[in-house]
Amino acid sequence: MQDERTSQPWAGATGAVAAGAQEAINLRKRPRIREALIQGFLFLCGVLSILTTLGIVFELGKESLGFFTRQVWEDSNKALPVALAPGATELLLSRGGSGIQAGDLVRVENEVMLVKAATGQAATVVRGQQGTEAVAHAANVALFRGKRVSLVEFFTGTKWSPQIGQFGILPLVTATLMTSVIAMLVALPLGLSVAIYLSEYASERARKILKPILEVLSGIPTVVYGYFALTFMTPLLRGVFGQDTVQIYNMASAGLVIGVLILPLVSSMSEDALSAVPRSLREAAYALGATKFEVAVKIVVPAALSGIAAAFILAMSRAVGETMVVAIAAGQGPNLTFNPFRSAETMTGHMVRISGGDLSYDSIDYNSIFAIGMLLFLITFVLNIISQRIVRRFREVYD
Amino acid sequence: MAKNPDEQQGRSLTEPFANNLPARHRTARLWQLAFLASTIVGIVILTALLFNIVNSAFGLAAVQVKVDPATLAMDGVPIEKQTKVQLVQILEGSLKPAVYKRLETEKPFVGRSRNEAYDLVVERVVEPKVEQTWPLFDSLLHRQEILAEMAQEYPDAKAKFLSWIDAKFLVTPQSSQAERAGVRTAILGSLWTIAITILVAFPVGVCAAIYLEEYARDNWINRLIRTNINNLAGVPSIIYGMLGLAIFVRALERLTSGTAFGFADPTTANGRTILSAGLTLALLILPVIIINGQEAIRTVPTSLREASFGLGATKWQTVWAHVLPSALPGILTGTILAMSRAIGETAPLVVVGASTFINKDPGGPFSKFTTLPIQIYQWTSRPQAEFRNIAAAAIMVLLVLLLALNATAIMLRNRSSRRL
């Protein structure tokens, strides 16, 4: 840095002036290559965050697209009643099962065939499609019908098990909703009460003790909360409501603990909003004879409502995206139920369980967790945007 | 006797007000209690959480041994006091020849110390096995009942007060048996991962914060960067795991597995390495570091910058020599807080592909890995009760680590606030 300065001509300006200003001092802005390079590098670091977002959207989008365009095989519950020779194009079909129509792709063992025409009991097919080889098949092998995952089935189906061709995400979504709503039922009243207490009632000393405790709660890793849910909350619930009503893995326990987990977020954001309300408003209310409680609830809380609402929505987004507590305590296996004491797998819980083993890249499972991830990303993204908008749009400005 | 009409009117105005007052004060007091109670609930939950962990990490256990150590005594000398030669004799005499030979090839007995030989005798010959465990507070309060129950159910077992967390727990690698498992591999894995995370996230995060605070003009791209960083901070951590899986583990497999540099065998290596995990966590904490860094830089007074410019310093000289040193404590505090978040993260690492079982120390960025939170997750998910106990012990290790980090952050914060 020192070199750069001394090597510049005007650094010796006094000498030049003394020499009778033979040379005019060059006052034009010089290009500073080093400075420009540094600025460029700093800019790149800033842009990396945009690249991260693009990366998330691109990868989730790409793999979800792979999920929705993927050829999956559904058991047609039909079988070949007689053996099939390699060259035969007439296919006899057993009774029952789902109907096979012209244009369908069917799979027998490893061979894929295209159905040209079909009646109930027979079909004309083109053998050896999609690079497979036409080979002989024995009698009684199962017939699979090819299909693609449709968006309608994805959002309205009630069973999720991609391995056997069921792609309804509803059970995962309802479980996520259940745990999040239970969490909000805990975090909302508690968090707001704590915020009101800290901002309106607590003395300086009490606040100095209480705030760090809440900070400790927010600093504990989520996996520890998961352990807490499984080894403390679940036995507690089972003790209160009975072993028969409450399953070992249940949504209530996970939801309650997520509520505790997001409590510090709700209380600290709400408290910030409450403290931002100017003193003059409170004093005016006191002057009119309001009690402390009336000032807090009828004056301060309404004035800070936008901040509080933003905190709630952000907390909701955290609850939806929370993973380890539900992975540990809410149970495994998708289950469409609204009973909080039953076990059900949430979106995040499912993603963790599926990716827990060595997941192979070309499996339907790999694509399916990205489709779930995309939905999760969209939900939390929308919630976050709403939260930011509320803060910006509805903030009451007092000055 | 005639009353002042004004006074009369005044009383009639204040009367309903005064009548109402006790009820209003009552409501106010009730609600104040309710607000206080909510705050206390928070504290109670925190206490319950810590209590629950401590309760599981210690306690009585029924320990059953395969061979009574007393029978192994030679010439009246118990095994605790035997020499290495005697201990090796016991091993040779009690173990199957094949097992003995395998131990010999792993590390020759000549090279093993007396304590190692003693541990082997305890582990392989005596083979203590925990049949059942009781939590700490039951063990303290109902000791007699537990001992009676133990005597009935496990007549051969010995009651032993176990501390699941001890020095041995910290230095032994993972094992499929709870009594012998430790967190050595997990701690090393966590340290390696976090080192890579910080090496990447700290410089990049600070540079981005400097750019946004010192250089960025108010145009669309900079506004986009700002909004984007705020949004990224709200993305669930598991989504970062998916990003890491798709990009670092899969697309950049050649780099992250180390095959591109010739560090790993291309036939067996895959991208599920410490490097991938560290980079994923770096992306995860980057927004946190940037936001904290921006706040720290914003607190540096403008006069400092103007003084520097006035002396003819360039922009970068000003930033490097004046702004950064003043903002550094704040930046470091933010970084440490981000670090403690990264240490506790589990979900993204599960998705990136932490190993379910390794007992070899990670040797570098291209090793397979497990970390402390993942170890806790796996142990918690097991049905056996002993694994809950060691999960509690591992949680205590993790919490102590986090406490140390946060204490450092608070100290830094206090030092910086004193100076400015």
Query: What does the pLDDT average to over A94-100?
Result: 68
3-state helix, strand, coil in chain B (%, to 5): 70, 5, 25
Nearest residue, CB atoms, B406 vs list A59, A219, A226 = A219
Please, where are the H alpha helices in A202-346? 204-219, 222-228, 234-241, 251-275, 279-287, 292-294, 301-303, 305-321, 324-329
* Residues B343, B397: Cα–Cα separation, whole Å: 12
Same domain, A307 and A211: yes
Identify the weakest region by mean pLDDT among A174-178, A281-285, B22-26, B287-291. Answer: B22-26
Instruction: Give residue-wise pLDDT tens across range A172-195.
Output: 999 999 999 999 999 999 999 999
Domain that holds residue A113: 72-148
pTM: 0.84
Same domain, A335 and A214: yes
Same domain, A361 and A245: yes
How many Cβ atoms from other residues are within 10 Å of residue B179's Cβ? 17
- Chain A residues within 8 A of B242 when measuring between CB atoms: 56, 59-60, 351, 369-370, 373
Pair A300, A307: CB distance under 8 Å: no
Domain boundary among A85, A116, A148: A148
* Residues A60, B393: Cα–Cα separation, whole Å: 37
- Chain A residues within 8 A of B245 when measuring between CB atoms: 355
Instruction: Give residue-wise pLDDT tens across range A306-324.
Output: 899 999 999 999 999 999 9
Query: What does the pLDDT average to over A233-237?
Result: 93
pLDDT for position B281: 95
Q: Give the residue among B222, B220, B208, B349 at the shortest CA–CA distance from B274.
A: B349
Query: What does the pLDDT average to over A3-30?
Result: 57
pLDDT range class, residue A16, cuts 50, 70, 90? very low
Query: What does the pLDDT average to over A34-47?
Result: 92
Using the Cβ of B316 and the Cβ atoms of chain A, whether some distance falls under 8 Å is answered with yes
Question: Between B74 and A295, where is the model more confident?
Answer: A295
Name the token pair of B323. Answer: 């702004």
Query: What does the pLDDT average to over A228-254?
Result: 92
Query: What does the pLDDT average to over A9-21?
Result: 49
Structural domain contains residue A153:
no
Q: Which CATH number fits domain B184-419: 3.40.50.720, 1.10.3720.10, 1.10.760.10, 1.10.8.100?
A: 1.10.3720.10
Same domain, A385 and A343: yes
Q: Which residue of A has its CA nearest to B54?
A: A228
Please, where are the H alpha helices in A288-396? 292-294, 301-303, 305-321, 324-329, 347-356, 364-394
Using the Cβ of B234 and the Cβ atoms of chain A, whether some distance falls under 8 Å is answered with yes
Statement: residue B65 has pLDDT above 70: yes
Name the token pair of B115. Answer: 């304590």
List all residues 6 or more positions away from B197 whose beta carbon is below 8 Å from its beta carbon: B278, B279, B281, B282, B285, B339, B342
Q: Rounded to a whole number, what is the distance in Å from the CA of B263 to chain A's nearest CA?
A: 22
Q: Rounded to a whole number, what is the distance in Å from the CA of A157 to chain B's nearest CA?
A: 24
Number of folded domains that form chain A = 2
pLDDT for position B89: 77
Q: Which residue of B has its CA nearest to A257?
A: B45
To the nearest whole number, what is the mean pLDDT of chain A? 85
pLDDT for position A341: 92
Statement: residue B143 has pLDDT above 90: no
- Domain edges within chain B: 59-163, 184-419
pLDDT for position A222: 94
Q: Which of B217, B228, B239 to mutate to test the interface with A (most CBs of A within 10 A)?
A: B239
- Chain B residues within 8 A of A384 when measuring between CB atoms: 230-231, 234
Same domain, A221 and A134: no
Using the Cβ of A271 and the Cβ atoms of chain B, whether some distance falls under 8 Å is answered with no
Q: Rounded to a whole number, what is the distance in Å from the CA of A12 to chain B's nearest CA?
A: 14
* Residues B99, B69: Cα–Cα separation, whole Å: 20
Same domain, A243 and A123: no
CA atoms within 13 A on the CB side of A281: 21
pLDDT range class, residue A265, cuts 50, 70, 90? very high
Statement: residue B177 has pLDDT above 90: no
Structural domain contains residue A33:
no
Query: What does the pLDDT average to over B316-321?
Result: 93
Identify the weakest region by mean pLDDT among B354-358, B375-379, B398-402. Answer: B354-358
